[in-house]
A and B are shown apart, each in its own frame.
Chain A
Amino acid sequence: MTATTPTNTSAAAARPAARKPVRLRSRAPHSVSSPRRSTLLTVLSGIVLLYALVPLFWLFVNATKTQSSLFSSFGLWFSGDFALFDNIARTLAYDDGIFGRWFANTVLYVVLGAGGATFLAVLGGYALAKFDFPGKRGVFATVIGAVAVPGTALAVPTFLMFSQMGLTNTPWAVIIPSLISPFGLYLMWVFAAEAIPTELLEAARVDGSSEFRTFFQVSLPLLAPGIVTVLLFTMVATWNNYFLPLIMLKDPSWYPLTLGLNAWNAQAATAGGEAIFDLVITGSLLTILPLIVAFLFLQRYWQSGLAAGSVKE
């Protein structure tokens, strides 16, 4: 199985054998020497790759179709007029531009919800990693225990509580529960333990820096990859949130995109409702684009953050 004996399948041999292995060059960190590429393995993984990407391709293709060719043409290829821009314009204009309103709501929930959740998780994880304080074990136990409680099981009592506090049907009903991310807390705790040398904090203390100043000036920059990771995952959670707004919000003008799209889709099933599948599809495409772009552009950060997060199991 050493790389030096190329009993290759023919296709694998097509790969230039320029990187002659072993000892000297700094090895790829994780392989039994540097193994040859395998066509078979690539093809097998390629099936999963297709599985992941084909639906997204379907979504894009069908966002370019008019409603009539949606019904008449083959789903996985373009057909008829290229109506993407027309579809986008109609999606944005439908029902007095309610889609834009939903988009703005979603952004509001993400900025306050995911931003706040990240902030709280960073502070909390830092405390768990770097301070010894009374009740620390209790904090661990409660948070870990509560994670096992299904989030949706909490939704109904939360709704009843919030409705007594007069918060339902306001943005706060969606934002406040989004502020807690147990996974984020866990990730930041592990990450902070790794990324911040305790000696550094000691040094800052000796210099007379206050704990909070030390946190903002010394620790925060070191935590950046972890913060980006937590931010991305809380962003996904808030952006994709469906159940919570579903029970909390009645007024469509406070809907996030997810609820709005579902309402558009359900409209076709109601008596006298106009079927707007083309707008549902185009709207879906517009909904997922921002997150996909964010993940692609920030991958360097969140991947290193995740890797660090799995150091301590």
Chain B
Amino acid sequence: MTTTSPPVAVPPPVDALSSRPVRRRRRSWIGWGFVGPFMAVFALVFLAPIAYSIYLSLFRTQMVGGTQFVGFDNYARAFGDPQFWSGVSRVGLFLLVQVPIMLGIALLVALAIDSGRLYGKNFFRISIFLPYAVPAVVATLMWGFMYGTRFGLVGNINDALGTSIPNPLSPDWVLLAIGNIVTWEFVGYNMLIFYSALRVIPTSLYEAAELDGASQWQVVRAIKIPAIRGSLVIATIFSIIGSFQLFNEPSILQSLAPNAITTYFTPNLYAYSLSFSGQQYNYSATVAIIMGVLTMIVAYVVQLRGMRKEA
């Protein structure tokens, strides 16, 4: 593990570097005095666990025979594990449906607020953002109660109108119910990211567009969207990571909808159950690593695609 103090003992490398003029001072180790503490803790809570879980994934512990090296057996097992893949396909479906809806709404609201055509736009901005400050636990409990047919709104509506809205917490509908909770939590956050990016577009662009007689929609399509592409890509990547990690909402809903949510509902829930109910640490680490790699691949592809359009 790295130490907190910068490794001063190493002599600074001979400056073979600069093709560029001496912009700052010489390269010096002093920067490590500032970034060192972050990196030390980072190594402890990010790098070490990653290394440790790779190590774990290569072993297997059995009642008889103890722990032994098994190479890639755990990975082979995961690739043939229907429970694991059912979780993966569930979050995949979630990702394809929930993320575009959430980001779409966030973008539309951000554009509406930025257009200056709303009454009371500050109120809109802050209110729509507020759910972000609500913990996932509270959001899930709150929506879970509202979904409930006993004292929830769904029950109220069914009573009042004689309708029979299906129970959102039944197995067929629960993924949609979770999608709604997640959308509620993060739509304002994403809106704010987009809005902040919209605010820094130079006014001169709008003036030029105005001189050219561009309509508002043309301004949106030709100026605003391209200008915030970076934010769109970053928000998409974060949302993808969030979807693959889906855990809190289904885990908390379990006590309200025990039949609808299995122990392998999402890959993370599966990894958690394997570790803490099943004591299968090695296999759990394997599942976590596969999910991590999968997430990185998807995030990387999105980033490449997002950046290519820019060229």
Report whether A310 and B137 are in contact in the complex, using a CB–CB cutoff of 8 Å: no
Given known pairs A131-B30, A240-B137, the reply for A52 and B152 (CB within 8 Å) is: no
Does A97 sit at the interface, judged by CB under 8 A?
no
Does A127 sit at the interface, judged by CB under 8 A?
yes
Given known pairs A150-B292, A240-B136, the reply for A128 and B47 (CB within 8 Å) is: no
Given known pairs A35-B117, A45-B109, A149-B292, the reply for A307 and B49 (CB within 8 Å) is: no
Closest to A160 in B: B281
CA gap between A132 and B20 in the complex, in Å: 13
CA gap between A284 and B56 in the complex, in Å: 38
Q: Which residues of the partner chain A approach B284 to less than 8 Å between Cβ atoms?
A: 156
**Binary contact readout A256-293 vs B (1 if CB under 8 angstroms, 0 otherwise):** 01110110011011000000010011001001100110
> In the complex, how many angstroms separate the beta carbon of A278 from the nearest chain B beta carbon?
10
Given known pairs A1-B216, A30-B206, A41-B115, the reply for A161 and B48 (CB within 8 Å) is: yes
Segment at the interface with A among B33-41, B82-90, B166-174: B33-41
CA gap between A247 and B247 in the complex, in Å: 13
Closest to B160 in A: A74
> In the complex, how many angstroms separate the beta carbon of A276 from the nearest chain B beta carbon?
12
Tell me the chain B residues, 187-246 only, with Cβ under 8 Å from chain A.
Answer: 187-188, 192-193, 196-201, 203, 206, 209-210, 214-216, 219, 228-231, 234, 237, 241, 244-245
Report whether B187 and A48 are in contact in the complex, using a CB–CB cutoff of 8 Å: yes
Does A103 sit at the interface, judged by CB under 8 A?
no
Closest to A286 in B: B138
Does A31 sit at the interface, judged by CB under 8 A?
yes
Does A76 sit at the interface, judged by CB under 8 A?
yes
Report whether B118 and A37 are in contact in the complex, using a CB–CB cutoff of 8 Å: yes
Query: Which residue of the partner chain, among B47, B184, B210, B231, contacts A142 with CB atoms under 8 Å?
Result: B47
Given known pairs A52-B188, A151-B245, A185-B38, the reply for A32 and B13 (CB within 8 Å) is: no
A contacts with B, residue count (CB < 8 A): 112
CA gap between A266 and B126 in the complex, in Å: 33
> In the complex, how many angstroms separate the beta carbon of A273 from the nearest chain B beta carbon?
11
Does A111 sit at the interface, judged by CB under 8 A?
no
Does A49 sit at the interface, judged by CB under 8 A?
yes
Report whether B200 and A310 are in contact in the complex, using a CB–CB cutoff of 8 Å: yes
Report whether B56 and A76 are in contact in the complex, using a CB–CB cutoff of 8 Å: no
**Binary contact readout B87-128 vs A (1 if CB under 8 angstroms, 0 otherwise):** 000000000000000000100010011111111100010111
Report whether B29 and A161 are in contact in the complex, using a CB–CB cutoff of 8 Å: no
Query: Which residue of the partner chain, among A33, A48, A124, A243, contacts B128 with CB atoms under 8 Å?
Result: A48
Tell me the chain A residues, 213-242 only, with Cβ under 8 Å from chain B.
Answer: 215, 236, 239-240, 242
Report whether B50 and A41 are in contact in the complex, using a CB–CB cutoff of 8 Å: no
CA gap between A311 and B230 in the complex, in Å: 10
Report whether B117 and A307 are in contact in the complex, using a CB–CB cutoff of 8 Å: no
CA gap between A296 and B126 in the complex, in Å: 8
CA gap between A261 and B139 in the complex, in Å: 12
Report whether B145 and A277 are in contact in the complex, using a CB–CB cutoff of 8 Å: yes
Report whether B203 and A30 are in contact in the complex, using a CB–CB cutoff of 8 Å: yes
Does A55 sit at the interface, judged by CB under 8 A?
yes
> In the complex, how many angstroms separate the beta carbon of A27 from the nearest chain B beta carbon?
7
Does B133 sit at the interface, judged by CB under 8 A?
yes
Most B Cβ at <10 Å: residue of A1, A32, A143, A180: A32
> In the complex, how many angstroms separate the beta carbon of B81 from the nearest chain A beta carbon?
17
Query: Which residue of the partner chain, among B28, B118, B197, B244, contacts A150 with CB atoms under 8 Å?
Result: B244
Q: Which residues of the partner chain B approach A126 to less than 8 Å between Cβ atoms?
A: 34
CA gap between A239 and B200 in the complex, in Å: 30
Does A108 sit at the interface, judged by CB under 8 A?
no
Closest to B215 in A: A1
Does B80 sit at the interface, judged by CB under 8 A?
no
Query: Which residue of the partner chain, among A198, A242, A243, contacts B24 with CB atoms under 8 Å?
Result: A198
Q: Which residues of the partner chain A approach B152 to less than 8 Å between Cβ atoms?
A: 75
Does B64 sit at the interface, judged by CB under 8 A?
no
Closest to B242 in A: A150
- Sample (18) of A-B pairs whose CB atoms are under 8 Å apart: A42-B119, A49-B124, A59-B142, A75-B156, A76-B153, A133-B32, A134-B27, A139-B35, A142-B47, A149-B292, A149-B296, A156-B281, A158-B45, A212-B33, A247-B275, A306-B196, A307-B199, A313-B197
Additional A-B contacts beyond A37-B117, A74-B160, A179-B41 (5; CB < 8 A)? A133-B27, A150-B268, A160-B56, A265-B252, A265-B255
Shortest 3 CB-CB distances between A and B: which pairs?
A313-B230, A133-B31, A131-B31
